[in-house]
Amino acid sequence: MNSENTLLTLHSKQPFLQDLVNQILAEAKQQGADAAEVGANLSVGLSASVRKGEVDKVEFTQSQGFGITVYCRNRNGGKSQEGEGFSKGSASTADTSKTAIKDAVEAACSIARYTSPDRYAGLADAELMSSDNPDLDLYHPHDLNPTDAIERCLEIEKAAFAYSDLITNSEGASVSSGGGLHAYGNSHGFVEAYPSARHSAGCSVIAGEGERMQRDSWFSSEREFSCLQDAESLGRKSSERAVARLNPQTLTTRKVPVLFAAEIASSMIGHFMGAIQGGNLYRKTSYLLDSLGEAIFPSYINIYERPRIIRGIGSGTFDGDGLATYDKSFIQNGVVSHYVMGTYSARKLGMKSSANAGGVRNLFVDSTGGDFEAMLKTMDKGLLVTELMGQGVNMVTGDYSRGAEGFWVENGEIQYPVHEITIAGNLKDLYANLVAVGSDVDRRGNTQTGSLLFESMMVGGQ
């Protein structure tokens, strides 16, 4: 990797990237676009992995590129009426030379000439552009070299094998350090850029022999490399999980309480967030149409976004349209209080953007109290789900059905692992009967929630 393009020096490229955005916008204006927006990115990284004590892979990555969208008030060479809106065209390239910029803009403008005008298309209003863009401390580069990365991988895997003689194989341990520089600008004169870094380490192992084999894994992910979980505990955690799954049993079909472990609970929140996304709402492909102001969850449930948290996993000061991000609730005391909207979907719905073009940033679900052990005791008897399989979610009806694995619980204690089961229900019914949210929050992702206890689901087994 060129020393000038490492993660350590990524921030120094910010003037270059902002200048590139301005060049592209100027070219778009020169070629006749009425408005334009540009997203540009630089990324660098190093990753390494080992398997059974041998180096499996060492990889350097480096990429750059930009995407441009132009908006034109013309079609097939003729001027459209003001009320008809803009025709839109987009193009992208990894080549940032002047010739490539000219060609990409030309391609975008050419596409716009053949698309129908859309009165909802176009940039967000100029006065809505984010004017307050503080440093959120997202850039913590680490001088990771291949030797150190491999050594950390070997330590993780060694700790995993040392946990138990039942650990018989490994799918590998890995370490990575990377980051990016992201810029966005549009013809309103808004051009902003910021660097960020992300580091991770993990391990996947196999316990048992023959038909008794079970696999499991664990990983750590942080903005700062020094905050990653240490090698010994990472290896041990992955092995603990694999050994705990040995000798699973099946269940007979039954309807029981179900507890989603914190590490997979975010998926259930994700199904809700998807249902209140503007795109699904204006296309009428959501089971939560016209749900604004409706009680979907019990009154003790709150789900909210905090997009400007210092060092937050998903933090950012502006969204994909250039609007300033801000704190908001999506569920307040059980009631839907905001939809997830960018500028386009908001216009289609006759509403205002929630500054969520590109998604939600740092989503939280308030705990109702109680750690993992307390959640098991609250459930008393039922199914603890630790792994999900398949994509059985119908966004139109809310029907939910997925393969699952986990543990059977009685008297508030784990009894034995289970496999080859399915869990099913309707999401609206499940949300309405969410019993509790644990304090055992998984903080590794953009959605941070503890374990989720639902009153009942249909468990399909033998």
The ranges assigned to domains in the chain are 3-236, 254-460
How far is residue 266's CA from residue 409's CA, in Å, rounded to a whole number? 21
| pTM for this model (two decimals) | 0.93
CB atoms within 10 A of CB 299: 10
SS3 195: strand
CB 392 within 8 A of CB 401: yes
User: What is the model's pLDDT at position 396?
Assistant: 97
CB 113 within 8 A of CB 76: yes
Q: Is the pLDDT of residue 78 over 80?
A: no
User: What is the model's pLDDT at position 10?
Assistant: 86
User: What is the model's pLDDT at position 83?
Assistant: 53
Q: What is the mean pLDDT of the chain?
A: 94
CB 334 within 8 A of CB 405: no
Per the DSSP assignment, residues forming a β-bridge with 400 are 393, 425
What is the gyration radius of the CA atoms in the chain, in angstroms?
25
Return phi, psi of residue 57, to 5°.
Answer: -160, 140
How far is residue 268's CA from residue 255's CA, in Å, rounded to a whole number? 19
SS3 430: helix
| DSSP state letters, 313-334 | TT--SB-TTSBBP--EEEEETT
How far is residue 443's CA from residue 223's CA, in Å, rounded to a whole number? 12
pLDDT class for 209, splitting at 50, 70, 90? confident
For strand 254-260 and strand 382-389, is the pairing parallel, antiparallel, or unpaired?
Answer: parallel
CB atoms within 10 A of CB 100: 14
CATH of region 3-236: 3.30.2290.10
State the burial class of residue 284 (Cβ atoms within 10 Å of its Cβ: 0-12, 13-18, 19+).
exposed
pLDDT class for 462, splitting at 50, 70, 90? confident
How far is residue 276's CA from residue 289's CA, in Å, rounded to a whole number? 8
Return phi, psi of residue 440, to 5°.
Answer: -85, 65
How far is residue 272's CA from residue 276's CA, in Å, rounded to a whole number? 7
398 Rama sector, left if φ>0, alpha if ψ -120 to 50, beta otherwise: left
pLDDT class for 237, splitting at 50, 70, 90? very high
pLDDT digits (tens, 9 = 90+) for 129-159: 999 999 999 999 999 999 999 999 999 999 9
Per the DSSP assignment, residues forming a β-bridge with 219 are 202
Query: Token digits for 228?
Result: 């990653």
153 Rama sector, left if φ>0, alpha if ψ -120 to 50, beta otherwise: alpha
SS3 27: helix
For strand 35-51 and strand 78-79, is the pairing parallel, antiparallel, or unpaired?
Answer: unpaired
How far is residue 278's CA from residue 359's CA, in Å, rounded to a whole number? 11
Query: Token digits for 246?
Result: 């040995």
How far is residue 71's CA from residue 88's CA, in Å, rounded to a whole number? 5
Our CA angle for 9, 15, 19, nearest 5°, is 140
The candidate with the shortest Cα–Cα distance to 206, out of 163, 268, 175, is 163
SS3 95: coil
From residue 234, give the alpha-carbon distance in Å to each of 150, 157, 212, 246.
Answer: 15, 9, 23, 20
pLDDT digits (tens, 9 = 90+) for 332-388: 999 999 999 999 999 999 999 999 999 999 999 999 989 999 999 999 999 999 999
**How far does the chain reach from its first CA to its final CA, in angstroms?**
55
For strand 447-448 and strand 363-365, is the pairing parallel, antiparallel, or unpaired?
Answer: parallel
Our CA angle for 387, 271, 258, nearest 5°, is 45
pLDDT digits (tens, 9 = 90+) for 165-194: 999 999 999 999 999 999 999 999 999 999
pLDDT digits (tens, 9 = 90+) for 249-295: 999 999 999 999 999 999 999 999 999 999 999 999 999 999 999 99
How far is residue 245's CA from residue 407's CA, in Å, rounded to a whole number? 8
Per the DSSP assignment, residues forming a β-bridge with 204 are 172, 217
